[in-house]
Structure 1
Amino acid sequence: MEKVEKNSLAKAKARSTAIAATVFLLPALILIAIYIVYPVVDTFIISGFKWNGISSDRIYIGLENWNTLIHDSMFWKSFGHNLIVMVCSIILQIPLGMLLATFLDAGGRKFNIFKVIWFLPYLMSSVAIAFLFVYALATNGGLVSSLVTLIKGQKTTIDLLGSAPNALFTIIGVMAWQFTPFYMVYFIAGYGNIDTTIYEAAIIDGATRRQYLRHIAIPLLGPIFKTACTMSLIGSLKYFDMIWNMTQGGPAGTTELMATYMYKLSFQQFNMGYGSTVAAGMFILITAIALFFNRVFKVKEDY
């Protein structure tokens, strides 16, 4: 009899927990379904039509858009540019963010002013940063050209945004300037999660600050490093606003990314069907690369 009562109480508790979980999760699941799942599914559906995005009539063409995408040299060129941005973003932003975080962690509270100053670029709008650097890098009157002119003593123009491959790598540098502070804060949080007793034990054992960082702190940041790389990877594969406002994919497509190519097809050429195919292709490629990265890049999470 007592066993039956315990089972009934356990079932009632499980039912109550399930009801509470459903009540709290349902609003979030509804929002995810409306704003994430539905647009993705609808994008794949539209990719099967020839449609200008305005008229009510859509012509079903099956997999014709996908066949065009597979043989579209501009799409694959844009994808290649995205890969360059991805690799450079990880190489620049993650190590720089870790170095800044290490510097600030070593300095303690007296370096708090640097946290504020270095984090300011991330607080700025990408559009505002794009326009700021467009003016700073202008061939006539821009900051770089003016400095070179001052150094050489004669009129000199430096065209960083109007020539290949300078334009793409210049924009990558601007991206690193904006987003490195995010990873700095991310690694600061990682350092904050390391138990201070570990550092104290290392010092008692005779370890220097450098040895502690190299052999203890940085290995403990492995999971943080993996997550940061994943976020940088996904973000760099879907950049749009900064590239669009600085070069619009130019000159001659040398800074064209998948997102800018999709935008031009959908909203400038009014080829919504094929633009949706490009967007769906982006979704597939980004998901595949992210899954491959997480499968290959393994770190030890338990110490």
Structure 2
Amino acid sequence: MTGQETLVNIAIPLEPQRAQRLQSRWLVIAVLLAPSVVLLSVFLIYPLLSSFQLSTLDWNGLGSNARFVALDNWVHLAHDDVFWKALGNNLLLGIFSILIQLPIALALAVLLDKAGRGSRTLKILYFLPLLMSSVAIGVLFKNVYDPNFGPLNVALHAFGLDGLAKDWLGDTHYALASTIAVICWQNIPFYMILFLAGLSSFPAEIGEAACLDGASEWTIFWRMKLPHLQGTVRTGALLAIIGSLRYFDLIYVMTGGGPESSSEVMATYMYRTVFSSFQLGYGSAIGSAMFIIVAVVAAAAMRVTNRFATEV
């Protein structure tokens, strides 16, 4: 028997074994992924498809009097001024989240990272707002903003600044800004911890070498640490944008979307449409539109932020 024939005879029985190993591997993968696929199907894919299906109905959510209206709810949504106002408020919330939350969180992270071990107590104190319930924070600041007995107006009157005292949550000009200020206060600690984690991965020996070469702390931050954090900054900006488009609880507790829809966001509008006006079909259209908008904005934000990525 030649050497070539021997190799052929050995290879032939190996092929079924290789195929069997591949089948076993795919079986293990399928078994491990099955629970996740089932959970995603039950709690994400099915509700999403159901929402799109309900958006084609005129139904109050009670009884069996649902009427198929095709795309009428979507046509109504396209001409709904309140919905576009709510979407605009969501976008404003996203813009101010990036312009306020991220810079303040980055500044706090840099200061705490510089302080070292002595900053442990400060880290705990700064992190406390994130540990509080959004409902509790909403109730707390609703009392703070109270036009008659709230600490804010009382302090303004005490310092002789009567002209600055406002009905913060009852005035259409200040309601949205007042809620955005509270949202920023609550979420800044999250981004602070995110940036602290990024700063902790910066090699200390690089900073020490730069100091020996005469570089200032300011130069080290702008030329080394900030480029090192670019991935963290992109992640924080993306989370801020997506979170602002889905925000609900704190705004609902503080203003309920009022007055006159001045602080309305898409989630509060959807909630009021379904549970106050009992328009389940139209509310489902709002919810489906929210999903599409969040998906499109998130994809666009990822594409834009990735274009600014540079190699460090």
Q: TM-score range by the shorter chain?
A: over 0.9
Cα 1:188–1:7 shift into 2, 3 Å? farther
Contact kept, 8 Å, 1:52 with 1:273, in 2: the verdict is yes
Letter in 2 for 1:201: A
Deviation of residue 7 (structure 1)?
5.8
Percent identical among aligned pairs is 36
Matched, 1:149 2:157: yes
3-state DSSP of counterpart to 1:152 = coil
Task: Determine which of 212, 235, 238 is the counterpart of 1:230.
Answer: 238
Tell me whether 1:300 sits opposite 2:309 in the alignment: yes
Q: 4, 21, 44: which one pairs with 2:52?
A: 44
Deviation at residue 196 of structure 1 after TM alignment: 2.6
1:157, CA displacement in angstroms? Answer: 4.8
- Report whether the alignment pairs 1:128 with 2:133: no
Alignment match, 2:226: 218
| Matched residue, 2:297 | 289
Give the match for residue 208 of structure 1: 216
The code of the aligned residue for 2:225 comes to A
Residue segments in structure 2 that go unaligned for 5+ positions in a row: 1-6
CA distance in 1, matches of 2:249, 2:261: 16
Deviates more, 1:54-63 or 1:8-17: 8-17
Name the counterpart of 1:170: 178
Q: In structure 2, what is the equivalent of residue 267 of structure 1?
A: 275
The 3-state SS of whatever aligns with 2:159 is helix
Counterpart Cα distance in 1 of 2:78 and 2:143:
38
Distance change in 2, residues 1:149/1:54 (3 Å):
same
Q: Is 1:191 aligned with 2:194?
A: no
- Letter in structure 1 aligned against 2:260: A
Could you list the per-position Cα deviations for residues 203-258 of structure 1 after superposition, in whole angstroms to 9, with x for gaps in the alignment? Answer: 33332222111101111111111111111101001111111110111111100111
Residue 55 of structure 1: CA displacement?
1.3
**Does residue 61 of the first structure (1) align with residue 69 of the second (2)?**
yes
Q: TM-score, normalised by structure 2?
A: 0.91
| Letter of the 2:215 counterpart | A
Q: How far, CA to CA, are the matches of 2:57 and 2:70 in structure 1?
A: 7
Could you tell me which amino acid in structure 2 is paired with residue 47 of structure 1? S
Amino acid at match of 2:234: K
The aligned counterpart of 1:258 is: 266
Shift of 1:163: 0.8
Query: Retained in 2: the 8 A contact 1:140–1:157?
Result: no
Q: Name segments (4+ residues, structure 1) moved above 6 Å.
A: 153-156
The residue number in structure 2 matching 1:182 is: 190
- CA separation in 2, counterparts of 1:289 and 1:153? 42
* Separation in 1, partners of 2:19, 2:97: 51
Are the counterparts in 2 of residues 137 and 143 from structure 1 also a CA contact under 8 Å?
A: yes
Give 1:278 shift.
0.8
Q: Distance in 2 between matches of 1:221 and 1:11?
A: 46
Q: Tell me the CA shift for residue 38 of structure 1.
A: 1.1
Listed one character per residue, the Cα deviations across residues 161-209 of structure 1 (whole Å, up to 9, x for unaligned) are 1112211011000000000000000111111222333223323333222
- Sort the Cα spacing of 1:229 and 1:19 in 2 relative to 1 into closer, same or farther, 3 A: same
Q: How many angstroms does 1:5 deviate by?
A: 6.7
Cα distance in 2 between the residues matched to 1:212 and 1:8: 60
Matched ranges for 1:89-100 at <5 A: 89-100=97-108
Q: Distance in 2 between matches of 1:15 and 1:187?
A: 44
Equivalent of 2:37, from 13, 29, 34? 29
Deviation at 1:75, TM superposition (A): 0.7
| Cα-to-partner distance string for 1:105-162 (whole Å, 9 max, x where unaligned) | 1111111111100000000000000000001110111101111121129899531111
| Matched residue type, 2:258 | G
CA distance in structure 2 between the aligned counterparts of 1:107 and 1:280, rounded to whole angstroms: 47
What is the rounded CA distance, in whole Å, between the counterparts of 1:29 and 1:256 in structure 2?
Answer: 35
RMSD: 2.0
**What letter matches 1:300 in structure 2?**
A
Query: Could you give the per-residue CA deviations for residues 71-107 of structure 1, whole angstroms, max 9, x where no partner exists?
Result: 1111111111111111011111111111111111111
Which sections of structure 1, spanning at least 5 residues, go unmatched?
Answer: none
2:91 partner letter:
L
